[in-house]
């Protein structure tokens, strides 16, 4: 179907002109479609930025609106009704049984504390790839490597060459763009 059609790079500026002031929406779009679009736009030398636009992810709405409680998880994973919910003993037993049910249902889950902790942790990303993330205080931090969890400002102040390494390494372009604003601040 696309054999004789223009490439994305050839159409990128035209597409950007159509959507540049638009909010974007989709299903799982915040983790897939929008990061992919951003990366391809930047590869085509289009200054794509979502900073002043909204991104509506219908999957996230679904996950927030459908019951995500221990009672629902207990029914889903254990096919049991949780009686005495919110008592410490009932909730503890149900939580343990849900975890066992998850480990049985998902063979990729490793029955290992470190793996489960890593898998179950979510941080709000600064960039689409999640290489840069906000900490609990809303400060931008590195979310990988030797500086994981450290504030970007602190690392770049003490180790300015780290910024150059990021810009020259094989990181997504939007990650580089997100880190670039620190150079503008003097790092």
Task: Give, for 134, the enclosing helix (H) or strand (E).
Answer: strand 132-134
The CA radius of gyration of the chain, in Å to the nearest whole number, is: 21
Residue spans per domain, the chain: 1-66, 67-120, 123-187
Can you give the pLDDT at residue 4?
94
Can you give the pLDDT at residue 52?
85
Can you give the pLDDT at residue 53?
87
Low-confidence ranges of the chain (pLDDT < 50): none
| C-alpha–C-alpha distance, residues 118 and 97, integer Å | 20
Can you give the pLDDT at residue 30?
87
Task: Give, for 177, the enclosing helix (H) or strand (E).
Answer: helix 173-184
Query: Which among 36, 32, 34, 41 has a CA at the least distance from the CA of 12?
Result: 41
Q: What's this model's pTM, rounded to 2 decimal places?
A: 0.57
Task: Give, for 141, the enclosing helix (H) or strand (E).
Answer: strand 140-142
Can you give the pLDDT at residue 88?
83
- In tens, the pLDDT along 108-118 reads 989 988 888 77
Q: In this structure, are residues 30 and 64 in contact, taking their beta carbons and an 8 Å threshold?
A: no
Q: Quote the crossing angle between the two packed helices 173-184 and 33-43, to the nearest 10°.
A: 70
- In tens, the pLDDT along 120-137 reads 766 567 888 889 988 889
Can you give the pLDDT at residue 186?
62
| C-alpha–C-alpha distance, residues 3 and 183, integer Å | 41
């Amino acid at each position: 179907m696309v054999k004789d059609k223009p490439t994305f790079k050839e159409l990128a500026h035209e597409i950007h002109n159509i959507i540049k002031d638009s909010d974007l929406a989709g299903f799982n779009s915040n983790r897939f479609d929008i990061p992919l679009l951003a990366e391809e736009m930047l590869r085509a030398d289009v200054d794509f930025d979502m900073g002043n636009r909204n991104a509506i992810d219908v999957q996230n709405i679904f996950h927030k609106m459908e019951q995500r409680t221990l009672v629902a998880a207990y029914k889903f994973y254990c096919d049991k009704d949780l009686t005495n919910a919110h008592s410490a003993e009932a909730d503890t037993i149900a939580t343990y049984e849900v975890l066992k049910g998850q480990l049985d249902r998902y063979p990729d889950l490793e029955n290992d504390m470190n793996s489960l902790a890593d898998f179950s942790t979510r941080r709000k990303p600064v960039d689409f790839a999640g290489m840069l993330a906000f900490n609990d205080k809303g400060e931008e931090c590195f979310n990988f490597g030797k500086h994981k969890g450290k504030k970007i400002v602190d690392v770049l102040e003490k180790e300015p060459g780290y910024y150059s390494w990021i810009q020259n390494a094989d990181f997504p372009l939007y990650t580089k763009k997100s880190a670039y604003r620190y150079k503008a601040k003097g790092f």
